Amino acid sequence: MSDTRPEAPPAGPPAPVRAALGATRGQRFALLGGLLAVAWVALQLFASVLLPFVVSAGIAYFLDPLATRLTRLGVPRGVAALLLVVALIACGLLFALLLYPLILAQFGILIARLPVYVEALRAFAGLVIVRLQERLGPEFVDEKLRDLVSGEAGAMLSFVGGALSRVIGGGFALFNVLTLVVVTPVVGFYLLRDWPRVISRIDGWLPRRYAGVLRAQAYEVDRILSAWLRGQAMCCIALALFYSMALSAVGLDLGLIVGMSAGVLSFIPYVGTISGALTSILLAFAQFPTWTGVAMVCGVFVVGQLLEGYVIYPRFLGDRVELHAVWVIFALFAGGAAFGFLGVLLAVPVTAIIGVLCRFWLRRYLVSPLYLDPPNQQGTGL
Q: What is the pLDDT of residues 307-332, one digit of tens each?
A: 887 887 777 765 555 667 778 788 88
The Cα–Cα gap between 255 and 3 comes to 75
* pLDDT at residue 49 tops 80: no
Q: How many CA within 13 A on the CB side of residue 259?
A: 29
Q: How many secondary structure helices (H) and strands (E) does the chain include? A: 17, 0
The answer to whether the beta carbons of residues 126 and 148 sit under 8 Å apart is no
pLDDT of residue 21: 54
Answer with the residue of higher pLDDT: 21 or 74.
74
The answer to whether the beta carbons of residues 285 and 128 sit under 8 Å apart is no
The Cα–Cα gap between 376 and 371 comes to 13
The Cα–Cα gap between 317 and 328 comes to 15
Answer with the residue of higher pLDDT: 19 or 377.
377
* pLDDT at residue 380 tops 80: no
The answer to whether the beta carbons of residues 265 and 271 sit under 8 Å apart is yes
Give the DSSP per-residue string, 251-270: T-TTHHHHHHHHHHGGGSTT
Least confident of 54-63, 66-75, 114-123, 193-202: 114-123
pLDDT of residue 81: 93
Q: What is the pLDDT of residues 34-45, one digit of tens each?
A: 888 888 888 888
Q: What is the pLDDT of residues 172-228, one digit of tens each?
A: 444 455 566 778 888 999 999 999 999 999 888 888 888 888 898 888 888 888 877
pLDDT of residue 72: 93
Answer with the residue of higher pLDDT: 317 or 72.
72
3-class DSSP state of 290: coil
Answer with the residue of higher pLDDT: 55 or 156.
55
The Cα–Cα gap between 170 and 172 comes to 6
pLDDT of residue 342: 77
The percentage of residues in the chain with a pLDDT greater than 70, rounded to a whole number, is: 75
pLDDT of residue 70: 93
Classify residue 78 by burial, with Cβ atoms within 10 Å: 0-12, 13-18, 19+: middle
Q: What is the pLDDT of residues 22-31, one digit of tens each?
A: 667 788 788 8
pLDDT of residue 179: 61
Q: What is the pLDDT of residues 94-144, one digit of tens each?
A: 877 877 777 777 777 777 777 777 777 677 666 766 776 667 666 555 555
* pLDDT at residue 359 tops 70: yes
DSSP one-letter code for 147:
H
Classify residue 353 by burial, with Cβ atoms within 10 Å: 0-12, 13-18, 19+: middle
**What average pLDDT does the structure give for the chain?**
77
